[in-house]
Amino acid sequence: MFHQELISKAARALKITLLSALILGGTPPAPVYATETTPYKVLPGDNLTEIVERFSTSLLAIHGANKLKSQVLYPGQVLLIPILTGTIHSVNRGETLMALANIYGTTTDAIMAANFLTRPMIVNGMRLAIPIAAPSPPAAAAEPPAAIAQPAASGGLAAPPVAETEAQAVTIQPDQLAKSETPQTAREKLAATNGLYIVQPLDAINQIAAKFNLPPYVLRRFNKLGNNSTLRPGQKLKIPAPLGTPYLVQPGESLSGLSERANTNILTLMALNGMTIPLLMERSEVALPPACLPPGVTAAPGTRGFAWPTTYMSRSGNKYSSRHRGYDVTAPYNTPVYASKGGIVALAQWTEWGFGNTIVLDHASEWQTLYAHLDSIAVTCGQTVAKGDLLGISGSTGNSTGPHLHFEIMQRETHVDPADYLFGG
């Protein structure tokens, strides 16, 4: 009896809601989906920079449409290339999805769907398709036909002519958007508040992260905020300071290419910038570490295999997984930590992203190892170490619940499970 009465009340409430919508003329907004893509077969020598420019699309759109985990391409790989049509906006520094949605009379969800964005984050310089344009901006170029690319003479699939895929860029008027400031200017203002950002009314995590050119997840993790945490006006947030030389990532630039330019390795760049996957955001600002590695020199690998980095030879916490790319090795306070393999020290310093005191070694054949949460560091950047040499003393620095050693192994742009390599060390 009770359940029947409850169902009856729910039905009446639904009927009243529907009738109100009809009377007031309100209709729910129709969802906007990005459906226009063209397949492209990767040719030898292709890279994402060239593909992005050839199709007049954006790096984030390609990553979202293909669910790419890295920027490494291989010949024969088929990519779905999003065709950005209609009104195309070139993102300026400091702009946010919420601000652009208000200017163009659309929603952030609609813009994300139209651009295959998996996160509500945009970066300076990227092309952005606006699904619903306001009357004030200039008219966009005609929408290209959704034709499949034809096979090219050299193999693969050819890109459609640039003239068919490009749309007219929109220039936002000064009175439509508050004057943007560079991340450097935003950081300079932090001096007046002892390095803390004071949350303003209507502020959101994504907006604040964009202001300082940070990934939103980094800002959340640095301030111990959950994914569903809400901000309060007046709340103080810690803004991570750059721990290296600031560098503005160019469209299509990869971690492997950047690591070669900076004479470092991929794992060092990831550790220093709090990256969980080897992916660079175009036009974002990253920190480059000191140039420790001699250019063109390959570190001697030592004996075959990876040795346990402590004498305990057991796991004390999390094992390797897609969410935890390392292996927690038993290491009580004051336990010596040793080099698992011979190499050159690529990073030996404090990092802000939860690792605390961190060491990264560069080995032969593009292998790298990482040692985190150390209490103290006994090596210096650029130093050559042999397998079994002392690196530091274990501790619980950074985001750690107790003393242990977080240990990672990576080759090129791929993490591997340390447990598969340590037992043969």
pLDDT for the residue numbered 146: 44
Please indicate, yes or no, if residue 3 is contained in any of the structural domains.
no
pLDDT for the residue numbered 33: 40
Please indicate, yes or no, if residue 137 is contained in any of the structural domains.
yes
Task: State the DSSP string of 306-352.
Answer: ---SSSS-SB-S----SS--SEEE---TT-EEE-SS-EEEEEEEEET
Check: CB of residue 95 under 8 Å from CB of residue 122. Answer: yes
Q: Let me know whether 335 and 373 are in one domain.
A: yes
The number of folded domains in the chain is 3
Q: Let me know whether 257 and 400 are in one domain.
A: yes
Q: Let me know whether 407 and 262 are in one domain.
A: yes
Q: State how far Cα 142 lies from the chain centre.
A: 33
pLDDT for the residue numbered 241: 61
Q: Let me know whether 104 and 164 are in one domain.
A: yes
Q: Which residues contact 45 (CB under 8 A, 6 or more apart)?
A: none
Crossing angle (nearest 10°) for helices 48-55 and 59-66: 100
Q: Let me know whether 252 and 328 are in one domain.
A: yes
pLDDT for the residue numbered 236: 92
* Tens-place pLDDT, residues 197-215: 999 887 888 778 777 766 6
**How many Å apart are CA 204 and CA 231, to the nearest integer?**
7
**pLDDT greater at residue 223 or residue 69:** 223
Average pLDDT over residues 350-370: 88
**How many Å apart are CA 219 and CA 240, to the nearest integer?**
8
Check: CB of residue 65 under 8 Å from CB of residue 113. Answer: no
**How many Å apart are CA 289 and CA 10, to the nearest integer?**
60
Task: Please report the sign of the dihedral spanned by the C-alpha atoms of residue 198, residue 204, residue 207, residue 210.
Answer: positive
Which pLDDT band, with edges at 50, 70 and 90, does 9 fall under? Answer: low
**How many Å apart are CA 281 and CA 123, to the nearest integer?**
7
Q: Let me know whether 233 and 252 are in one domain.
A: no
What is the DSSP-derived secondary structure letter of residue 157? B
Listed ranges 42-46, 169-173, 381-385; the one with the highest mean pLDDT: 381-385
pLDDT for the residue numbered 189: 82
pLDDT for the residue numbered 324: 87
pLDDT for the residue numbered 25: 46
Query: Of 115-124, 269-278, 349-358, 404-413, which range is least confident?
Result: 115-124
Please indicate, yes or no, if residue 99 is contained in any of the structural domains.
yes
Which pLDDT band, with edges at 50, 70 and 90, does 137 fall under? Answer: very low
Please indicate, yes or no, if residue 8 is contained in any of the structural domains.
no
Which pLDDT band, with edges at 50, 70 and 90, does 405 fall under? Answer: very high
Query: What average pLDDT is seen over the chain?
Result: 76
pLDDT for the residue numbered 141: 45
The CA angle 91-182-83, to the nearest 5 degrees, is 15
The domain boundary, picked from 238, 255, 278, lies at: 238
**pLDDT greater at residue 57 or residue 405:** 405
Query: Of 25-39, 327-341, 411-425, which range is least confident?
Result: 25-39
Give residue 230's domain range: 183-238
pLDDT for the residue numbered 101: 84
Burial of 138: CB neighbours in 10 Å, binned 0-12, 13-18, 19+: exposed
Q: Let me know whether 221 and 82 are in one domain.
A: no
Check: CB of residue 268 under 8 Å from CB of residue 368. Answer: yes
Here the CATH number for the domain that contains residue 251 is 2.70.70.10
Q: Let me know whether 258 and 231 are in one domain.
A: no
pLDDT for the residue numbered 5: 57
**Helix, strand, coil share (%) of the chain residues, nearest 5:** 25, 20, 55
Please indicate, yes or no, if residue 193 is contained in any of the structural domains.
yes
Please indicate, yes or no, if residue 368 is contained in any of the structural domains.
yes
Q: Let me know whether 86 and 187 are in one domain.
A: no
The domain boundary, picked from 196, 213, 238, lies at: 238
Please indicate, yes or no, if residue 13 is contained in any of the structural domains.
no
Answer whether 0.85 is exceeded by the pTM.
Answer: no
Please indicate, yes or no, if residue 2 is contained in any of the structural domains.
no
Q: Let me know whether 301 and 163 are in one domain.
A: no
Residue 84 has pLDDT above 80, yes or no: yes
Listed ranges 101-115, 223-237, 359-373; the one with the highest mean pLDDT: 359-373
**pLDDT greater at residue 13 or residue 399:** 399
Q: Let me know whether 52 and 120 are in one domain.
A: yes
Here the CATH number for the domain that contains residue 101 is 3.10.350.10
* Tens-place pLDDT, residues 141-161: 444 444 444 444 344 454 444
Q: Let me know whether 130 and 58 are in one domain.
A: yes
Q: What are phi and psi of 331, to 5 degrees?
A: -160, 85
